[in-house]
């Protein structure tokens, strides 16, 4: 059965179209007719091979299945041969492509001529000549570009311009200063209000009106243990803002380092002992090692008592 199929390779090589979708459908278009004719020929081939093998009759379903298998096999040979051909930068498969393909698929090529010349083979009439279907031309839009001089003419043509030309579609953004400011202000206010209301709802509140505690809820004042810390240290938000402005304004680096560079001053006592690198003139930096300040000296161990 396999061998019988080989004869058809050449004719099928060119059709990369899946038959499956089309089979069984009652259609009338010329393309489908063409395909149906081929399929019928395949069925005849299968029947002939079956007869040759000694079968008297076959169920239709079995014939169909075998047809399907044959078709798949042939299609695979065709696809594979084409791949080999393209791999070597050609567009038309040669015999050697087909041979390699067959070998690749585990077929013993040497047996093929003998099989072809066997005595009891049946000759099947060629399928009726029908014109290969013409693929309808895709709707062309615009003028296709011609190849520039450095591209050989055999190269594929440019696709339609609409596939690669940029077509701006976004709306004009709002750049009106007033609207931007308005929006920023409203947004911030809304966020602030929502946030504070949330905190007020979830925590203790105070009110300015005895009868109505919801209209102007004030977050209750909570005494803190070290009140001066929060009152004196810049908040993280401010530090962040400072860093941003500093990165944009390179002229004033020392200030930035003074404040922004020490987010966590308490963490590192060793560092805190040293003078700030940011404000020390570079000439002084070398002297830092020799600062003799009594508060930086190590604490002495107590003298050993005389009598033990």
Count of positions on this chain that bind another protein (CB under 8 A): 78
CB of 198 to another protein, least distance (A): 10
The nearer residue to another protein, 119 or 282, going by C-beta atoms, is 282
CB of 306 to another protein, least distance (A): 12
Q: DSSP string covering 48-109, please?
A: HHHHHTT-S---HHHHHHHHHHHHHHHHHHHHHHHHHHHHTT-SS--HHHHHHHHHHTT--T
- Three-state secondary structure call for residue 266: helix
Inter-residue contact 41 to 21 (CB < 8 Å): no
Take residue 34 and report the two structure tokens written for it. Answer: 């063409």
Among 193, 201, 247, 253, binds another protein (CB under 8 A): 193
CB of 169 to another protein, least distance (A): 29
Tell me the C-alpha distance between 84 and 61, whole Å. 35
Inter-residue contact 112 to 7 (CB < 8 Å): no
Tell whether residue 81 is a contact of another protein (CB under 8 A). no
Question: Dihedral sign, CA of 187, 190, 196, 202?
Answer: negative
Dihedral angle, C-alpha 118, 123, 129, 132, nearest 10 ° = -30
The nearer residue to another protein, 122 or 208, going by C-beta atoms, is 208
The nearer residue to another protein, 3 or 280, going by C-beta atoms, is 280
CB of 181 to another protein, least distance (A): 5
Among 106, 294, 306, 308, binds another protein (CB under 8 A): 294
Applying the rule CB under 8 A, the residues between 225 and 284 that interact with another protein are 225-235, 237-238, 241-242, 244-246, 249, 252, 255-256, 258-259, 261-262, 265-266, 269, 272-273, 275-276, 279-280, 284
Applying the rule CB under 8 A, the residues between 110 and 149 that interact with another protein are none
The nearer residue to another protein, 108 or 248, going by C-beta atoms, is 248
Pattern of binders to another protein over 164-183, x per CB under 8 A?
-------------xx--xx-
Inter-residue contact 220 to 233 (CB < 8 Å): no
CB of 171 to another protein, least distance (A): 22
CB of 273 to another protein, least distance (A): 6
Q: DSSP string covering 171-208, please?
A: PPP---HHHHHHHHHHHHHHHHHHHHHHHHHHS-EE-S
Applying the rule CB under 8 A, the residues between 204 and 223 that interact with another protein are 206, 208-212, 215-223
Phi, psi of 229 (to 5 degrees): -65, -50
Tell whether residue 195 is a contact of another protein (CB under 8 A). yes
Tell whether residue 291 is a contact of another protein (CB under 8 A). yes
Residue 265 has what DSSP assignment? G
């Amino acid at each position: 059965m396999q061998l019988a199929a080989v004869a058809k390779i050449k004719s099928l090589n060119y059709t990369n179209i899946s038959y499956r979708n089309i089979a069984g459908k009652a259609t009338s278009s010329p393309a489908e007719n063409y395909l149906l004719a081929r399929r019928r020929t395949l069925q005849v081939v299968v029947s002939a091979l079956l007869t040759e093998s000694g079968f008297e009759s076959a169920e239709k379903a079995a014939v169909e299945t075998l047809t399907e298998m044959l078709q798949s096999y042939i299609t695979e040979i065709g696809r594979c041969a084409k791949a080999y051909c393209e791999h070597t930068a050609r567009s038309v498969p040669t015999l050697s492509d087909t041979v390699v393909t067959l070998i690749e698929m585990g077929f013993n090529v040497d047996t093929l001529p003998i099989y072809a010349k066997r005595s009891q083979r049946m000759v099947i009439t060629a399928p009726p000549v029908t014109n290969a279907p013409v693929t309808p031309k895709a709707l062309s839009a615009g003028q296709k570009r011609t190849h520039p001089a450095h591209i050989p003419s055999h190269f594929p043509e440019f696709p339609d311009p609409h596939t690669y030309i940029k077509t701006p579609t976004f709306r004009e953004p709002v750049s009106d200063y007033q609207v931007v400011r308005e929006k920023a202000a409203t947004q911030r206010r809304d966020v602030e209000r929502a946030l504070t209301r949330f905190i007020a709802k979830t925590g203790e509140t105070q009110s300015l009106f005895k009868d109505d505690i919801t209209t102007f809820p004030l977050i209750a004042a909570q005494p803190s243990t070290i009140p001066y810390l929060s009152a004196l240290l810049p908040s993280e938000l401010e530090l962040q803002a400072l860093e941003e402005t500093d990165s944009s304004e390179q002229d004033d680096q020392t200030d930035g380092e003074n404040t922004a560079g020490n987010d966590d001053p308490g963490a590192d006592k060793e560092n805190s002992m040293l003078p700030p690198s940011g404000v020390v003139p570079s000439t002084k930096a070398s002297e830092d090692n020799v600062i003799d300040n009594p508060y930086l000296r190590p604490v002495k161990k107590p003298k050993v008592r005389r009598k033990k």
